[in-house]
Structure 1
Amino acid sequence: MISHDQKAANRQGWRVAFASGLASYVDAGAIAGTGTALVILQGSLGLTPAQIGQLSGLLTVMIAFGALVGGRLGDRFGRRRIFLATLSIYFLAALALAVAPSIALLFVGLAVLGLAAGADLPVSMAMIAESAPENKRGKMVTFTHVLWMAGILGVIVISIFFGNAGTLGAQIIYGHLAAVALIAIALRWGIPESRLWNESQNNPVDEERLDLRSLRALFSPKLFPPLAATGLFYALVNIAANTNGQFSTYLFVNVAGVDVATASKLGLGILLLSVAGLFVMMRIVDGANRHRAFVFAAILALVGLAIPLVFGVNAITLVLMGVFGALGGAVAGEPMYKIWSQELFPTSHRSTAQGITIAFARLVAAGAALVTPLIISAGPALLFLFLFVASAAAYLIGIFWIFRMRKFLKNDDGLSATRTAPQNVAG
């Protein structure tokens, strides 16, 4: 029987998970929305493939830089103050892009948009983990990826109706992101500061309290292994996810030969499968079957990437890749990274650690995004070979390093791996 206090804790946890998790919505919306908007604007603004690559890379670089800065500020000044400020900046940038898109404004607006989105991510993830009941922490953190998918869904729905409407379609995409950011600000306003963060700051004997010198602790033998492992895993697995998010419309339109609205309809079905996979992830993540599910999902994702590599790039192979990738990535992708990032770091360093790993992953993705349109022009098979190798390396890191990593961290805040998992692993 669930007590009244437990019910209240669950309600508050879900409230924080939704309001903070909207960071994932606006992050995904910025990536997928910009990918679609640039395809829409390539005609009216005369964008070249090189400029599309530069703008996509710029957005990803600024998300990386924002995560690095935001994670540090979140540990130093608190979760609440930072995630209200970052989302306010995001709102202004999205509004500017919606009002008057131009090549110059795209470069400035996407830089600010990426900075704000990136800064919000690690702080919001830490807030959710520190507010969730212990037996639902994995589920609530995973729920943020449902909101990430919802951000893509919002872009797809707009693209179905306005993808062929020219500049107006791009303006609506950014306008809806500004509206969601404003709603999130209102929802976050009533959320109190993280109790665990307050305790870590108010404890005068807490040696883990963050200052400039304590950043060195992240590179100590105690914390560097999980920092390196989660950073490498996320960087490698995110290359395929980020490429699909930014360039799926580009591939459908410029390689497979379908229009934006049709590409968006196909993407909608794939997205619904991703959401279904995430609900499966939410059921298993706090239990003992996490490892087996991860291995199975990794195989699915690799099969998906192999299909266009072996059979060529067309609408059918892109859809099949999306189906396998949607189901596999829901478990063996970014959602699992988010779980590991909460479990392997103490409160005083959690946001900073995530900021570093997110920044590293997004910088890697930015480098890939910068040259992706040129690689596609030279031969899309090269792109999918690269995505397959990078993803395979990520899954090997997850299976043979992170899942076998011993729980050597002090359990200072109750965010260690689920108690029902094997006792000698971190996953």
Structure 2
Amino acid sequence: MSIIKQTNPWYIGTVSGMASYIDSAAIVSSGTALVIYSKTIGVTAGQIGIFSGVLTLCIALGAFFGGRLGDMFGRKKIFITTMAMIVVGALLMALGRTFPLLLLGTLLLGLATGADLPVSLATISEAATDKNRGKIIGLSNLLWAGGVSVSMAIASVVGSWGILGAQILYFHIGITGIALLILRSLIPESPLWLAAHHERLCGVKTIRAQTASFKDLFNRKYLTPFIALCLFYMLTNLAANTSGQFGAYIAVNIVGIPIETHSFWSLLMLPVCIVSGVAFMKLVDTPKRMTGFIVGAFFYTAGFVMPVLFNFAPFSWFCAMLFTSTGAGLAFEGIMKVWSQESFPTMLRSTAQGIIVAVSRLTCGLLAFVTPLLLEMGTTFLYTVLSCMAGVGMVIGWLCFHGNQRNEFNSEADIIQNHH
């Protein structure tokens, strides 16, 4: 069944990929805005802890359920609903003054950003071709970095403005959400999802039409990449998330550099991430994909090993930041998204992607509870654990995907010959 894709896939990739921008902007903005609220409207430290925990948990739950709903009811219905929820959530966070209203806003923001990610990635991959799919998915990583950069830039300007500063941070998310809601309403439903849905209704025995149930993920063909991707992203993200959350604390208290220096170094890493992300986009749709992954995996893992081998000195800490930023662009979230999109047929694609994201976000939230205990055992011990996590995750990714490239897009329209 040939389908003419009339909408430019790069346009779809940009509008849908803004899910990653909103995701990072929501996390960064909330972290800053809640601190401002603690000084202006009396949000307590305990309540900030609740909001942070609820946001992390809701992103995980949103990804889990949103991915499944996207496969069942179509991409467009879900990603328009999620964007409307983001707008309402951001407005509640900007205008709410009571704990229940702020909690409701956090719930909506978390659930919606989580649910939006797997559905928007499926929309991108299904609008693209084998020649540009990885590049366009890679664009969502650059947009994620954009969300961090813009939110940090806004916070640096309005951080001292009191309650208005916090509101501007949330209004930025809300206004972006309204613009995306309008643009997304004009994007057609994924043609591949429509084809699979039509074949399923008509009883056509194609792979994509008949592979739509949750239990199909445990079919041997899909189980291996599914488990590998869950482990790869969980382990590599545990390392990244933990160093991100506690990096400033370690820099000031263990490495012994001022917080201003650490913040400046963090800012320097953004262009490194962007250059590395562009390199990923250049390589991902070529035979050099795995070479790029191996180079990235080496740098990423080496970044966590550096402070262990050379003590927590300023030079080794800077190298650690530089190496992980370089490696992340080539061998972290971008390649996970591409492998996830290629490994599953249309009616399972966002389900699988959602669970992979959910497992990772949930374990990151849980590890955050015990990280202070690991820190008490020493930063060398903590970073040895993180190095092992990153290294094992990279090896799992290589073992599963280093052979012939998986590509369900090329075979999912085939008729099932032996349907047991």
Q: Taking structure 2 as the reference length, what is the TM-score of the superposition?
A: 0.86
Aligned to 2:305: 306
Note if contact 1:300-1:327 (Cα within 8 Å) is conserved in structure 2.
Answer: yes
1:51 Cα deviation from its structure 2 partner: 5.8
The code of the aligned residue for 1:125 comes to L
2:38, 2:375 → 1: CA distance?
16
2:74, 2:116 → 1: CA distance?
12
Per-residue CA deviation, residues 217-253 of structure 1 (Å, 9 max, x unaligned), is: 1111121111111111111111133335555556567
Determine helix, strand or coil for the equivalent of 2:171: helix
Note if contact 2:130-2:285 (Cα within 8 Å) is conserved in structure 1.
Answer: no
Pairing 1:25-424 to 2, within 5 Å after superposition: 25-40=21-36, 45=42, 47-48=44-45, 54-100=50-96, 104-203=100-199, 204=202, 205-206=204-205, 208=207, 214-248=213-247, 258=258, 264-310=263-309, 318-372=317-371, 375-376=374-375, 379-404=378-403, 407=406, 411-413=410-412
Per-residue CA deviation, residues 283-307 of structure 1 (Å, 9 max, x unaligned), is: 0001111112211111111222233
Note if contact 1:56-1:370 (Cα within 8 Å) is conserved in structure 2.
Answer: no
Cα gap change, 1:224 to 1:192, in 2 (>3 Å):
same
| Backbone CA RMSD of aligned residues | 3.1
Cα gap change, 1:114 to 1:157, in 2 (>3 Å):
same
1:213 Cα deviation from its structure 2 partner: 7.8
Cα gap change, 1:37 to 1:51, in 2 (>3 Å):
same
1:211 Cα deviation from its structure 2 partner: 9.0
2:10, 2:250 → 1: CA distance?
37
Note if contact 2:342-2:408 (Cα within 8 Å) is conserved in structure 1.
Answer: no
1:180 Cα deviation from its structure 2 partner: 1.5
Cα gap change, 1:41 to 1:11, in 2 (>3 Å):
same
Note if contact 1:277-1:331 (Cα within 8 Å) is conserved in structure 2.
Answer: yes
1:249, 1:296 → 2: CA distance?
27
Per-residue CA deviation, residues 306-346 of structure 1 (Å, 9 max, x unaligned), is: 33445565776554332211110001100000010111111
Segment drifting more, 295-304 vs 280-289: 295-304
Per-residue CA deviation, residues 379-422 of structure 1 (Å, 9 max, x unaligned), is: 544443332221111111012223247749683358xxxxxxxx
In structure 1, stretches of 5+ residues that fail to align are 1-7, 415-427
The code of the aligned residue for 2:337 comes to K
- Between the aligned residues of both structures, percent identity stands at 38
1:119 Cα deviation from its structure 2 partner: 0.4
Out of 11, 14, 17, the position equivalent to 2:10 is 14
Segment drifting more, 332-341 vs 314-323: 314-323
Per-residue CA deviation, residues 136-163 of structure 1 (Å, 9 max, x unaligned), is: 1110011111101111111221232234
In structure 2, stretches of 5+ residues that fail to align are 414-420
Note if contact 1:156-1:264 (Cα within 8 Å) is conserved in structure 2.
Answer: no
1:164, 1:315 → 2: CA distance?
29
Cα gap change, 1:248 to 1:170, in 2 (>3 Å):
farther
Q: Taking structure 1 as the reference length, what is the TM-score of the superposition?
A: 0.84
